[in-house]
Amino acid sequence: MPSTLRPPTAELKFPSLLTPEALETAAGPVTVRLDDDSLKAVARCHDYLHTCLEKGREIYGSTTGFGPLVVFAGQDEGADQCENVLSHLEVGQGPDLDPPVARATLLTRLWSLARGHSGVAPTAVEALVAMLGTSFAPVMPEYGSVGASGDLAPLAHAIRSLQGRGNAYLGAMRMPAAEALAAAGLRPLELTGRDALGLVNGTSVTAAGAGLALAALHRSVAAGTALTALLAGVLGCRPDFTAPEIFEALGHDDTAYRAADLRERLTGHEPSGTRALQEPYTLRCAPHILGAAQSSLRHARQVVTDDLNGISDNPLFFPERDVVAHGGNFFGQQVAFAADLMSITAAQLANLAERQLDLLIDTRRNGGLNPMLAEDPGRDHGVQGVQLAATSLVVAMRRAATPAAMQSVPTNWHNQDIVPFGIQAAFTALRQARTLRLLHGSLAVALYQAVRVGARRPTAPACTRLLDALEPTVARDRPWAVSVREAADVLDRAC
């Protein structure tokens, strides 16, 4: 198991801005360095919690039961109260979250707790730091949270893993959590006070899922732009649809930016002179679709980044003001809305890629290339199967784009009488982002295949470089499915 114990290769410092891209670094071991002031703030808040309890102040989750059972007293001992909260929340169902998602979740939770307003013990924060420095990942089931009062069930399973109970991953290997902790050199997490509630009572699963989706979708906008340029280059289209005057008149900055990116990628492009004056909308309006996607993702980035760097917990403690504030900073509505917007955006980018693929294989519109881009039509079938699979993927994405953020169902004895379902919105967005990569991979291999069967090589250097980067993915002895996935990887790196 030595490979799972490799030293951290990334470093993050707290306090600093936690970005969607920073979440991706948590896929492997990452060193997190908390400054002295932050560690002191965590300790000060923890001490303040206990001072309040000694004075007999009523504090949700510390002196009370949970949810609608707040009217009843909780367990007398802190460790028993921690067990009290976890035992009734260990109810998650469904597939495990991918280990990188689970690790990004705990990085997000660390960023909230390290702000020093949750009252958890410093040892709880230190345990998350230590875990992130290894390849350990808790087993977290996808379903069980309604996105309010925190992502309770998935996070409860995560904390059980850190206690050495249930299961966990070490690298890609799933095993009993106690074995994974021992192999990673970690000690089982010991909880007291409100540690358990502080660890589960936030929307960190939602924020992490949305953040990872956002990072992937930003790459997909760049990939969609590069593939549009390559399509124009392979077909020999007129570049008029990228003229700056069009977008100055339009007035949408993000759309103008995407058009400028297309113009740059088409520098050196020479039209064939055989195309119609105006291209179908999948080319002519591509800057508008890509620009609208960029605008939507810019809004989502602000929302998700705010959430990643805020505090989602209840209650919150402000020792400097002698305030214990009971509220609703566990309600993930903001990210739920943003994640639904990401899903819709991804679906339209998928529509664009699938329609561009259809344009490329259609002999009436592709300049007379072989049908289905077959080398010997009938004896082989080119990318016919690739398009069929792409059609399946795009319809799956359309169906998945149904918003989750307004699917409220009252629950929890009407304590949670309105809920945002942010976690389902976030994971739908993440699945959409992953599927969109396959649509772009499908278009990429078709573009390479078009040149293989007689389309001209593009004259713009940027397009030629991308075409050459795709060449190793489209070997004749390789299944198309493998080529599509490898082309998606190339796009991630090249765009």
Report in angstroms the alpha-carbon separations of 199 from 74, 76, 127. 18, 20, 11
The answer, yes or no, to whether residue 4 has pLDDT greater than 90, is no
> Could you tell me what percent of the chain has a pLDDT over 90?
92
| pLDDT score, position 1 | 34
Average pLDDT of the segment spanning 475-482: 92
188 three-class SS: coil
Q: Which residue has the tokens 């069980």?
A: 144
The answer to whether the Cα torsion of 14, 19, 21, 23 is positive or negative is positive
Please indicate whether the domains covering 2-202 and 210-494 agree at the CATH topology level: no
Provide, rounded to the nearest whole percent, the portion of the chain with pLDDT above 70.
98
**Measuring CA to CA, how many Å separate 26 from each of 103, 168, 208, 319?**
6, 16, 11, 32
> For the whole model, what pTM was predicted?
0.96
Q: Is the peptide bond before 15 cis (omega within 30 degrees of 0)?
A: yes
The two tokens of residue 192 are 């007291």
**Cβ pair 461, 455 in contact under 8 A:** no
Mean pLDDT across the chain, nearest whole number?
Answer: 95
Residue-wise pLDDT for 122-143, tens only, equals 999 999 999 999 999 999 999 9
- What ranges do the domains of the chain cover? 2-202, 210-494
* Residue 240 DSSP label: G
Name 467's Cβ contacts closer than 8 Å, sequence gap at least 6.
230, 447, 448, 451, 457, 458
pLDDT of res. 149? 84
Would you say residue 178 has pLDDT above 80? yes
* Mean pLDDT of the 408-415 span: 86
Does residue 347 have a pLDDT over 60? Answer: yes
Write down the pLDDT at residue 360. Answer: 96
Instruction: Tell me how crowded residue 417 is: count the other CB atoms within 10 A of its CB.
Output: 12
pLDDT tens per residue, range 423-471: 999 999 999 999 999 999 999 999 999 999 999 999 999 999 999 999 9
Q: Could you give the 3-state DSSP secondary structure of residue 76?
A: coil
Whether residue 2 has pLDDT greater than 60: no
Does domain 2-202 sit in CATH 1.10.10.10?
no
| Confidence at 11, pLDDT banded by 50, 70, 90 | very high
Q: What's the rounded mean pLDDT across residues 9-29?
A: 96
Residue 385 in contact with residue 480, Cβ under 8 Å?
Answer: yes
> How many residues are present in the chain?
495
pLDDT the model gives residue 5: 52
Task: Please say if 448 is a catalytic residue.
Answer: no
Catalytic annotation, pick one of 60, 143, 257, 281: 60
More confident residue, 470 or 148: 470
Q: Is the pLDDT of residue 218 over 90?
A: yes
pLDDT at 14 over 70: yes
Model confidence at 3, in pLDDT bands (50, 70, 90)?
A: very low
Tell which residue, 191, 189, 234, has the closest CA to residue 448. 234
- What are the residues whose beta carbons fall under 8 Å from the beta carbon of 478, sequence distance 6 or more? none
Residue 6 confidence class, pLDDT cut points 50, 70, 90: low
Mean pLDDT of 82-93: 95
In this structure, the strands spanning 141-143 and 167-170 are unpaired
The pLDDT of residue 7: 66
User: Which of 148, 150, 138, 142 lies closest to 113 in space, CA to CA?
Assistant: 150
The 10s digit of each residue's pLDDT in 50-73 is: 999 999 999 999 999 988 898 999
pLDDT at 379: 93
- 24 pLDDT more than 80: yes
Does 375 score more than 70 pLDDT?
yes
| Mean local confidence (pLDDT), 389-394 | 98
Residues 439 and 354: beta-carbon distance below 8 Å: yes
The pLDDT value recorded for residue 476 is 85
pLDDT for 247 equals 98
Domain covering 210-494 assigned CATH 1.20.200.10 in the classification: yes
Residue 272 has pLDDT above 90, yes or no: yes
* pLDDT, average across residues 225-237: 98
pLDDT tens digits for 281-301? 999 999 999 999 999 999 999
User: In which residue are the tokens 């990116």 written?
Assistant: 261
